[in-house]
Structure 1
């Protein structure tokens, strides 16, 4: 009987099963990690993030108070931000890219939707938000 003709031992079969299960668990872990991480806006491709931003902003309402921290938690850091202190209030306008205008690898205000906060609370969003901010100047 040659060494290659020896029957596979139970230990080798057990080891093979452990390796296969380990690889499956590892693969599932990597897949899950990628799915979780890609759900964060800052990890999305620019097209997906832009659509995510647009969809989220379109769902906003001024009917109940929304804190700036809630929006940043959902959308990530803004693409552009400006702030001013005026008459004992802090106004901040943040811009999130929602539509691509020019393929130049730069995000400009005309590619973004502004959100205006007064002392950390959302008071306006959309086209009129930036005008309200500049009026405070």
Structure 2
């Protein structure tokens, strides 16, 4: 009887002394969104929302999907108005400050989407 109690006690001690780390991965293979910081959640949301943007959409339609841009530029070019909304989609610096280089630009010509990304900006300027 003493051997059984001793074995059970040792087994219980071994189980309670074990420690480890569990990493939960979401269903899409990415990190679990519950463990992301606010800026990581915003970046992930912006990347997903960019997939819903299509050519010809208006500025207002894009803002409904994407929300407020991190940066907004507007200028006149060749008798038309070019607007670029920048949304944070990736991190380059761990300084806590969002920079244009950490954003994906959405380009509009006369209020309609003409493209997004650096190529679209380069074509617009």
- The 5 Å alignment of 1:89-108 reads 89-108=80-99
- Residue among 48, 51, 58 paired with 1:58: 51
Does residue 69 (structure 1) correspond to residue 60 (structure 2)? The answer is yes
TM-score (norm 1): 0.59
Contact 2:105 2:121 in 1 (8 A): yes
Distance change in 2, residues 1:60/1:52 (3 Å): same
Question: Structure 2: 5+ residue runs without aligned partners?
Answer: 1-36
User: What are the superposed Cα offsets for residues 99-137 of structure 1, whole Å, 9 maximum, x if unpaired?
Assistant: 011111111121111110011100011221221232xxx
- Answer 1 or 2: which has greater helix percent: 1
- Residue among 42, 49, 57 paired with 2:42: 49
User: RMSD in angstroms over aligned alpha carbons?
Assistant: 1.7
Contact 1:81 1:94 in 2 (8 A): yes
Distance 2:109 2:93 in 1: 31
Contact 1:78 1:94 in 2 (8 A): yes
Question: Structure 1: 5+ residue runs without aligned partners?
Answer: 1-43
Distance 2:52 2:61 in 1: 14
Which residue in the other structure is 2:5 paired with?
Answer: none
